Amino acid sequence: MGKWSKRNINELSIYYLAVFMLWVKTILVYVFGFHLKVHSFFEWLLLLINPIGIIALILGMAFFFSDHLKSKVILALHFVLSFILYGNLLYYRFFSDFITVPVLFQFQNVGGLSQSTLELMNWLDLLFLADVIILFVIIFRKNMIRKKITRREKQPILIVSILMIVLTISASFIHEKHLFQKPYDRELLVKSIGNFNYHLFDILLSSKMSVQSAIASSDEITEIKHYLDQKQKKLEPNKLQGIAKGKNIFVISLESLQEFVINREIDGKEMTPFLNQLIKESYYFPNFYHQTAQGKTSDAEFMIDNGLYPLSGGSVFVRRPQNEFYSLPHILSEKGYYSAVFHSNTGTFWNREVMYESLGYDRFFSDKDYDVTEENSVNYGLKDIPFVEQSIPYLQKLPKPFYAKMLTLTNHFPFILEEEDQVRASLDSNSNLVERYAATVSYTDEAMKIFFGKIKEAGLYEDSIFILYGDHYGVSKNYYKELSTFLETEITPAENVHLQKVPLIIHIPGQKGEFIPTTGGQTDIRRTILHLLGVEPKKELIDFGEDLFMKGRKELVVFRDGSFVTDQYIFTENLCFDKETDEQIETDYCQPYFDDVQKELYYSDSIIYGDLLRFLR
Ligand code: GP9
Ligand code: MN
């Protein structure tokens, strides 16, 4: 100890040590936190070098401070970069995605990760501070003779850092030519240019997007219309066209409900007995996928009302509420429909209060309209059973015909259920996340049973149709180990895509119903509803959906990160798989879809960023 304190300390070595430790930490997070998959030696090399330049440059900013501050600024910057890295890690653990600029702005609207955040942390995370503490101890040691960093030393360091960044970006670009054309493939970006460079690129991208609406013109929509006309032309009319003319519509968003729970038993007991029964009397779509991104529930809502894709970063609800939309409530109001949303969370969450007005809803029944107490609520709002019970009197008073959208909540991460609500499961503190999920799923199933019973009692059943859908996955990649044990199957990249299936149930009283195996997604729901109702919108329909009942469908479901699934193939992690066997096959099989996938995402983004629907006649 004594020996060490007498030593001279060269501030340059503090800098090198800081860069080195942050580099190692970043690589550890890449491998053990983000589970970034590399397929070749070149990709490994890229992964290893990509953080160095940017870390060296950012920490090198300390060189511009006065001598007595330099090492402290190195420490501060080191801490900030560690904080960003850790923030990303937590976000990734839940969303299997990387933070974008809009997500940061979204926090005030969604109340952060709150209760869920603690669940995502673990004690080992304290190691994140280890290098910060080491630096702190070294820098603040007393009685040391410091050798300052000279100008001759700092210049080459900064130049080399910049060259490293240029090298990283060029190498990434050479490796994947379309890298910057697919900014929504964030995994690929982080893998190639690195976590910190990705953030800078993302900042650039979101500033570019915000000017796009100012320069948009009506010509852009003509090209999009042409593409959509070609697509719709191939479809054959639906035999159910107009079958539900003039009926009320219930659209029920089932929080985090995945398809794998349907018709599944635990210890000989069905997880969702009510839904399993309902499916037998409904049109059921077992190959239906959620397509949500960072906007979660709000993304699903957005797709269902607009038939457009969600944004790659953030939620449209938060980012573009001022746009002009031609959404389901607008179209239905042309036929005299009244539209209302029922959701017991606060109205500001996902900016719903503002966005629902833009989307043309006449009324939003939020927490203010419900009696929400400690006992009858959990997590974000009312438990599903009191939620449906308290909604009935409001539903009875709605002007008819109506479109009622109801959003359930209890089956939400981290899946908390009090003992008295455990309808088909007994949980204790040892229950893992998947077991908790199973329990809240069963609770929501029970709530749906009560809901249908009450709707019948209220005399609202016969004149209504019911569309129930799972909004997105509930068990994220972070819990795949538990899920894999539960499902007794290995979760491969292809299996991960299968796991993005959510139930879609279309229940039309009086119709026998059937299993419809077509491959579809949430963007398809709007056209399906409009055809069932036989509604002809006054303005042209600009959306990317295809009626799920129609023959001749392309059966292409595009996910927001550019991966996709068709009736035969799966494209994910830049690899092509046979959907039937899950075997990896030549990319050539998936190639024919690439163009349409990029076009759909690009056109949808242009519509949203350019506010193009204002040009609709
Ligand atoms: C909360 C509900 C759930 O109101 O939308 O949140 P999400 O699934 O989007 O995290
Ligand atoms: Mn949700």
pLDDT tens, residue by residue, 286-336: 999 999 999 999 999 999 999 999 999 999 999 999 999 999 999 999 999
* Residues paired with 585 in a beta bridge: 576
% of the chain residues with pLDDT over 90: 81
Taking Cα atoms as reference points, which of 613, 612, 609 lies closest to residue 320? Answer: 609
CA of 303 to the centre of ligand 2 (A): 13
Estimate the crossing angle of helix 151-175 against helix 52-60, to 10 degrees. Answer: 150
Q: What is the pLDDT of residue 107?
A: 65
Q: Given 297, 408, 440, 528, which residue is catalytic? A: 297
Indicate whether 7 pLDDT > 80.
no
- Please identify, by atom number, the ligand 1 atom nearest to the C-alpha of residue 343: 4
Indicate whether 208 pLDDT > 70.
yes
Q: Flag the least confident range among 4-8, 275-279, 412-416, 437-441.
A: 4-8
Q: What is the pLDDT of residue 101?
A: 85
**Residue of 254, 384, 412, 469 with the most ligand 1 atoms within 8 Å of its CB, for mutation:** 412
Confidence of residue 2 (pLDDT cuts 50, 70, 90): very low
DSSP letter, residue 617: -
Q: What is the pLDDT of residue 264?
A: 97
- For the segment 210-239, the average pLDDT, to the nearest whole number, is 86
Summary mean pLDDT of the chain: 93
* Residues paired with 269 in a beta bridge: 266
Q: What is the pLDDT of residue 110?
A: 57
- 416-452 pLDDT, tens digit each: 999 889 987 778 778 899 999 999 999 999 999 999 9
Q: What angle do CA 566, 571, 577 make, to 5 degrees?
A: 90
- 86-111 pLDDT, tens digit each: 999 999 998 888 998 888 877 665 55
CA of 613 to the centre of ligand 2 (A): 27
**Measured between alpha carbons, how far is 36 from 99 in angstroms, rounded to an integer?**
15
CA of 304 to the centre of ligand 2 (A): 14
Ligand with smallest separation from the Cα of 294? 1
- For the segment 198-225, the average pLDDT, to the nearest whole number, is 85
Which residue's C-alpha comes closest to atom 5 of ligand 1? 297
The answer to whether domain 239-549 has CATH 3.40.720.10 is yes
**Measured between alpha carbons, how far is 87 from 91 in angstroms, rounded to an integer?**
6
- Please identify, by atom number, the ligand 1 atom nearest to the C-alpha of residue 346: 4
Q: What angle do CA 241, 246, 251 make, to 5 degrees?
A: 80
| Every domain range in the chain assigned CATH 3.40.720.10 | 239-549
Task: Label the pairing between strands 283-284 and 377-378.
Answer: unpaired
- 502-552 pLDDT, tens digit each: 999 999 999 998 999 999 999 999 999 999 999 999 999 999 999 999 999
Ligand 1 within 6 A of 349 CB? yes
Ligand 1 within 6 A of 345 CB? yes
- Please identify, by atom number, the ligand 1 atom nearest to the C-alpha of residue 256: 8
Helix H segments across 50-194? 52-60, 70-95, 101-110, 114-120, 130-140, 151-175, 186-193
CA of 106 to the centre of ligand 1 (A): 13
CA of 528 to the centre of ligand 2 (A): 22
Beta strands in 408-559 (DSSP E): 464-470, 504-507, 520-521, 557-558
- 40-86 pLDDT, tens digit each: 999 999 999 999 999 999 999 999 999 889 999 999 999 999 999 99
- For the segment 566-590, the average pLDDT, to the nearest whole number, is 97
- For the segment 480-500, the average pLDDT, to the nearest whole number, is 97
CA of 380 to the centre of ligand 1 (A): 8
Indicate whether 113 pLDDT > 60.
no
**Residue of 254, 409, 472 with the most ligand 1 atoms within 8 Å of its CB, for mutation:** 409
Which residue's C-alpha comes closest to atom 8 of ligand 1? 297
Ligand 1 within 6 A of 296 CB? yes
Q: What is the pLDDT of residue 109?
A: 56
Ligand 1 within 6 A of 380 CB? yes
Which residue's C-alpha comes closest to atom 6 of ligand 1? 297
Question: Is 150 in the active site?
Answer: no
Indicate whether 210 pLDDT > 80.
no
**Measured between alpha carbons, how far is 566 from 520 in angstroms, rounded to an integer?**
8
- 367-393 pLDDT, tens digit each: 999 999 999 999 999 999 999 999 999
Print the SS3 string covering 24-90: HHHHHHHHHHCCCCCCCHHHHHHHHHCCHHHHHHHHHHHHHCCCCCHHHHHHHHHHHHHHHHHHHHH
- Please identify, by atom number, the ligand 1 atom nearest to the C-alpha of residue 349: 4
Task: Label the pairing between strands 363-365 and 338-342.
Answer: parallel
Ligand 1 within 6 A of 98 CB? no
Q: What is the pLDDT of residue 11?
A: 86
Ligand 1 within 6 A of 412 CB? yes
Q: What is the pLDDT of residue 1?
A: 43
CA of 13 to the centre of ligand 2 (A): 49
Q: Flag the least confident range among 20-34, 43-57, 226-240, 490-504.
A: 226-240
Beta strands in 448-497 (DSSP E): 464-470
